[in-house]
């Protein structure tokens, strides 16, 4: 859970096969911790969720509702199944390429607002599953040294249970957040 908060404000960097860099500031995350019934890792390791059991800072990418990929970052030690879902980023560079990936008429604020849209905008699919973000050359995290951010918390989005836990973190006053407005004060 500390990782979910720590990731707010970090920069997600993606290098495409063309060599172009896409970057965005992480503005919204959700923690899926050990023993959480709504976590994909709750029932133990399977072929799909294996990446959640890797050492921290490995990518876990899964396909959902027949239409979207979601990017998570493993958050605990090797053998512990836990991860942070990246729900939204603020696009910084490569915006025109993101628009070609998402649609020519999409507004900047909607390019990567929502976990599925984020993956589409950054060309992230199942082939990025299991990547080590500490060493990989196509997907990694960067830090803006001087910045500080006001961070809010709320219940997570889209769950049928566990709605009481405030495991969602977001950059306050960001216009790039996903979910109902009532959750993004």
Partner DNA sequence: CAGAGGATCGGCT
Partner DNA sequence: GCCGATCCTCTGG
Task: Assess 34 for contact with DNA (CB under 7 A).
Answer: no
Task: Assess 49 for contact with DNA (CB under 7 A).
Answer: yes
The site for DNA, by CB under 7 A, has a size of: 41
DSSP states of 141-176: EE--TT----EEEE--SS-SS-TTS--EEEETT-TT
Task: Assess 1 for contact with DNA (CB under 7 A).
Answer: no
Task: Assess 18 for contact with DNA (CB under 7 A).
Answer: no
Question: Residue 128 CA to chain centroid, in angstroms?
Answer: 13
- Binding range to DNA, per CB under 7 A, among 3-11, 18-26, 35-43, 145-153: 35-43
User: Dihedral through CA 18, CA 21, CA 26, CA 31, nearest 10?
Assistant: 40
Nearest to 36 by CA among 12, 22, 52: 52
Cβ neighbours for 142, distance < 8 A, ≥ 6 positions apart: 10, 11, 13, 23
Residue 138 CB coordination number (10 Å): 14
Site residues (CB under 7 A) for DNA, limited to 63-82 = 63-68, 70, 72
Q: Which of 18, 47, 100, 135 binds DNA (CB under 7 A)?
A: 47
Site residues (CB under 7 A) for DNA, limited to 115-144 = 115-118, 120, 126
Q: How far is the CB of 148 from DNA (least distance, A)?
A: 27
Strand-pairing partners, residue 26, are: 89
CA–CA distance from 143 to each of 50, 110, 119 (Å)? 27, 23, 20
Q: How far is the CB of 173 from DNA (least distance, A)?
A: 20
- For DNA, give the closer residue by CB, 91 or 114: 114
Residues that bind DNA (CB under 7 A): 30, 32, 38-41, 43, 46-49, 52, 60, 62-68, 70, 72, 83, 85, 102-103, 114-118, 120, 126, 156-160, 178, 180, 182
């Amino acid at each position: 859970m500390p990782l979910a908060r720590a990731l707010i404000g970090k920069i997600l960097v993606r290098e495409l096969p063309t060599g172009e860099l896409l970057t965005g500031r992480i503005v919204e995350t959700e923690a899926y911790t050990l023993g959480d019934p709504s976590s994909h890792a709750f029932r133990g390791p399977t072929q799909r969720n294996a990446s959640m059991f890797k050492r921290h800072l490995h990518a876990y990418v899964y396909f959902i509702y027949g239409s979207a990929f979601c990017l998570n970052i493993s958050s605990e030690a090797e053998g512990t199944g836990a991860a942070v879902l990246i729900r939204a980023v603020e696009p910084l560079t490569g915006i025109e390429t993101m628009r070609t990936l998402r649609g020519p008429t999409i507004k900047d604020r909607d390019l990567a607002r929502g976990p599925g849209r984020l993956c589409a905008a950054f060309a992230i699919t199942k082939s990025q599953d299991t990547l080590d973000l500490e060493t990989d050359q196509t997907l990694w995290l960067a830090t803006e040294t001087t910045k500080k951010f006001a961070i809010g918390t709320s219940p997570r989005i889209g769950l049928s249970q566990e709605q009481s836990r405030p495991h969602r973190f977001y950059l306050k006053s960001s216009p790039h957040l996903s979910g109902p407005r009532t959750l993004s004060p």
